[in-house]
Amino acid sequence: MLYYLFEFLEKEYQLPGASLFQFMTFRAAMAILFSLLIATAYGKRIILFLQKQQIGESIRDLGLEGQKQKTGTPTMGGLIIIMSTLIPVLLFAKLDNIYILLLIVTTLWMGFIGFADDYIKVFKKDKQGLKGRFKVLGQVVLGLGVGATLYFHPEVTMKEENSSVITQQFEVRDVEGSEIKSTSTTVPFFKNNELDYSDFIAWAGEGAKDYAWMVFIPIVILIVTAVSNGANLTDGIDGLAAGTSAIIVFTLGIFAWVSGNIIFSDYLDIMFIPNSGELVVFITAFVGALVGFLWYNAFPAQVFMGDTGSLTIGGIIAVIAIIVRKELLIPLLCGIFFAESLSVMIQVSYFKYTRKKFGEGRRVFLMSPIHHHYQVKGYHESKIVTRFWIIGILLAILTIVTLKIR
């Protein structure tokens, strides 16, 4: 909103300093500052409100040290993240940008699903929360909406044959290429690193590529569901999900910045996605909200994000990765989420297999998700979280390196 206000003030009244709001970097800096301030200043008030309403987490007894002390800690802290993200975005982002609108809808939609799950757990005293099929249905609906928008909306385009020059007046001008609709994505570590989803149905004959949405939309649904659930499983000990997510989102911010800048995208030989640079404003607000939330969520946690936060975080990360066409990097960049999900799948599958074959279920891990495995082994949760953050940073660096290593 402030973008449009200061744009008007500059045009009509030549207000000194109003032109600053035309610069995405300035608005991104303001967004992260505001989100940090909102999260830290108002986070405590939200926590006190949740305590007053007796919205406390009922911790399932897993026999872990220090677990009983966490019972009664306020949950639904994801509201802090959502509020601290959306307010700066509404203030500083261009609200007519299709990518910003998609992320606002994603935040509200996944926040609603997570809130419903936490509400059932807390107020209905049902530890299972929202039925799994309804969670998945919500994720599928979001994936369907995001996929359809990215495929059919006329403003979602790519630049064909990136090329630009800088004039003597330091203006960036395109010298060739046109904006096109595309279902291409980036394949890491390969020189000719673009994969077009429409190629999967090219065998059907001439005109088959017009139905590429039949491949693209299901892939989007799968990614949104997988990443959202991965973030949900990672939220198990103090500061793990928030800190890991902040690292992931910051990395995606770098990709959004270079993908939305015709000079850097041309230099790095990556897709130039017009208007995607505006994502940086949303991403910086989101990073600030996550870091601000960590102020209260670091060990010992004063508040838990609950599914209100974890499902929202996963959904946002998935949608940003798809928008900047880096979804194939998710297993690497979101390696912590991937490992957490994989540990649960291995544990459950092996348990069912051995119970059927030997009459008793056996386990690969002492407990899953994998962060609980290390807790059972005697590691303090602060050490687990710190080491997972370090691994997350290493994975982020490797992901960034894929821009040049092919």
- Residue ranges for the binding site for Mg(2+)? 232, 307
Cα–Cα distance, 368 to 385 (Å, whole number): 15
Phi-psi region of 283 (alpha: psi -120 to 50; beta: other; left: phi over 0): alpha
Residue from 6, 9, 263, 283 nearest 159 by CA:
263
Binding annotation: 232, 307
Residue from 172, 147, 169, 146 nearest 159 by CA:
172
Q: For residue 211, give both structure tokens.
A: 């139905």
DSSP three-state, residue 159: strand
Cα–Cα distance, 108 to 60 (Å, whole number): 28
Cα–Cα distance, 354 to 352 (Å, whole number): 6
Question: Within 13 Å, how many C-alpha atoms sit on residue 226's CB side?
Answer: 21
Q: For residue 337, give both structure tokens.
A: 């989420």
- DSSP letter at 364 equals S
Cα–Cα distance, 303 to 75 (Å, whole number): 6
User: Which single residue is written with the structure tokens 């003597």?
Assistant: 168
Residue 148: CB partners within 8 Å, gap ≥ 6?
Answer: 213, 217
Q: For residue 78, give both structure tokens.
A: 């994801």
DSSP three-state, residue 56: strand
Residue from 381, 371, 40 nearest 238 by CA:
381
Q: List C-alpha distances in Å: 8 to 21, 30, 174.
A: 11, 19, 27
